[in-house]
Structure 1
Amino acid sequence: MYNLLKGKRGIISGALDQNSIAWKVAEKAHEEGAVFVLTNAPIAMRMGEINTLAEATGSQIVPADATSVEDLTNLFTQSQEILGGKIDFVLHSIGMSVNIRKKIPYPELNYEYFQKGIDVSALSLHKMLSVAKKLDAINEWGSVVALTYMAAQRTYPFYTDMADIKAMLESIARSFGYHYGLDKKVRINTVSQSPTKTTAGTGIKGFGSFYDYADAIAPLGNADAESCADYCITLFSDLTRMVTMQNLFHDGGYSSTGVSDDVMYRLGVENS
């Protein structure tokens, strides 16, 4: 280990189970010397195994509905009390689409579900940052990372309304990154991760086939949850102090590859 986060305090949201990227981030942050608070929505906490993670990392849990300004105010206030000072890093790993869960195709979206997805998965970042800024809860040169996906830039039919929601999430990171950077030197970035075998990811229709396709396109193959956690740790560290307002692709080169020899070969075999 490198002690990249020695002496740093953080808040990590979204750790549901051992497959979660947020779970891996928490484990890595602990290994690198950080102390942090774990948080998730009360309903997600009942479904997951967050208590096991808290015990393993010596962390406390503060439940919070990320759509509630009141809950988020309590989260940042309590976290500073628990950790003994201002926050140095925050992971936003929050995403939910009722339309995807109910397998509603994009042209027929239920708009109430759509608005719920926007509130949970994108506006929650704005609310989190707004609360933190009002409370002056994040140290200068602190770092906020939100997890996103490439469907914000390109069309993936199975990703339906989450594609639009992730585009909003990335825009919020850029817009708020300007204001928070100007005022407090706080940096805000999004990490666009490969398709990953998490509980949320595998719930998407056709995920298995697309995972294999992306793996065949990316010259390095798909990035797994553990390597994504490594990348997030570097963004929390002082080594990336001048990186902000960026959408950073962590996908084995998938986003820069038009087509691969592997895919061309497979198509050729099938068409022969």
Structure 2
Amino acid sequence: MSYNLLKGKKGIIFGALNEMSIAWKVAEKCLEEGAEIVLTNTELSIRMGQIKDFAEKNNVPLIPADATSEEDLERLFKEAMELLGGKIDFILHSVAMSLNVRKKRPYDNLDYDFLQKTLDISAISFHKVLQTAKKLDAINEWGSVVALSYVAAQRTMFEYNDMADAKAMLESIARSFGYIYGREKRVRVNTISQSPTITTAGSGIKGFDSLIDFAERMSPLGNASADECANYCITLFSDLTRKVTMQNLFHDGGFSSMGMSYRAMHQYNKSFENGETK
């Protein structure tokens, strides 16, 4: 069901790769809600994924750009404004990658060059997006910028590795830049801390299936799906949330407020039924 929440609005979606991507779901919802959008990702991701098919099917511009490159970002914003006929109203930052995770380097034996890439791609790119947009005055007053985060920014999550550091930095950037952008341009900046969600990036984390199951058992409402996350993003892009900024908003079925649930405790106790000592 469409509510026309984004009718007349224009935005840029970073990071859609394939149908598993939250950014892909957000792009679909934006179109359903009446928005005009531009999609962007790296040239390699465009070649590897299916986002080109999405763009062609929906007659949506697709502009290759590396979110870590200020030159690429400046070109992206200028081209997007030209194609959309003016300033934009919203941005989704869904960009993350860790070579340490991919190479299975444990947190106490990180490759620091890999760590720098993790931070640059997964967090510093968010600052670059915001800084470039502000310099170009690319976002309309009362515009909204959202980045996707995870509870590992606040809590230690097994095997989430240096991505936890990146998410903590991402949320800090949202607060620090959100103050400046809100004060000077009335632009909102927030992060959404989403439930563990099966995506191409998430599936590379060791034990991710177990993490999803644990979160499902712990959350009173269960894990939030990619589609549900997309719906939440839409509300933050809309005019209904004009005074929400500098927030890390948990969208996780209540997981972030839980200590121990009945279902998780029940499963824990079952593990001792074979005569093991508690």
Could you tell me which amino acid in structure 2 is paired with residue 40 of structure 1?
A: N
Could you tell me which amino acid in structure 2 is paired with residue 257 of structure 1?
A: M
> Within the alignment, does 1:3 sit opposite 2:10 as a pair?
no
> Within the alignment, does 1:64 sit opposite 2:42 as a pair?
no
Distance 1:2 1:58 in 2: 21
Q: Quick check: 1:16–1:45 contact (8 Å CA) kept in 2?
A: yes
Could you tell me which amino acid in structure 1 is paired with residue 235 of structure 2?
A: T
Match of 1:200 in 2: 201
Distance 2:162 2:231 in 1: 29
Match of 1:188 in 2: 189
Distance 2:181 2:158 in 1: 34
Distance 2:39 2:169 in 1: 25
Match of 1:19 in 2: 20
> Within the alignment, does 1:229 sit opposite 2:234 as a pair?
no
**Deviations 1:216-249, CA, capped at 9 Å, x for gaps:** 0001111010000000000000000000000000
Runs of at least 5 residues in structure 1 that lack an aligned partner in the other structure? none
Distance 2:125 2:267 in 1: 42
Distance 2:85 2:177 in 1: 26
Q: Quick check: 1:142–1:186 contact (8 Å CA) kept in 2?
A: yes
Could you tell me which amino acid in structure 1 is paired with residue 46 of structure 2?
A: M
Q: Quick check: 1:27–1:57 contact (8 Å CA) kept in 2?
A: no
CA positional deviation for 1:55:
2.3
Match of 1:123 in 2: 124
Distance 1:73 1:58 in 2: 23
Aligned length: 272
Match of 2:265 in 1: 264
1:133-148 to structure 2, matched below 5 A, reads 133-148=134-149
Match of 2:276 in 1: none
Distance 1:10 1:57 in 2: 15
Distance 2:189 2:11 in 1: 14
TM-score, normalising length from structure 1? Answer: 0.99
Match of 1:163 in 2: 164
TM-score, normalising length from structure 2? Answer: 0.97
Match of 1:46 in 2: 47
CA positional deviation for 1:271:
1.9
Distance 1:220 1:42 in 2: 38
Runs of at least 5 residues in structure 2 that lack an aligned partner in the other structure? 274-278
After TM superposition, the runs of 4+ consecutive aligned structure 1 residues lying more than 4 A away are none
- RMSD (Å), alpha carbons: 0.7
Identity %: 65
Give 1 or 2: higher helix fraction: 1
CA positional deviation for 1:202:
1.1
Distance 2:111 2:20 in 1: 29
Could you tell me which amino acid in structure 1 is paired with residue 241 of structure 2?
A: T
Distance 2:6 2:23 in 1: 16
Match of 1:76 in 2: 77
Distance 2:233 2:21 in 1: 13
Distance 1:57 1:163 in 2: 35
Match of 1:238 in 2: 239
Distance 1:270 1:77 in 2: 57
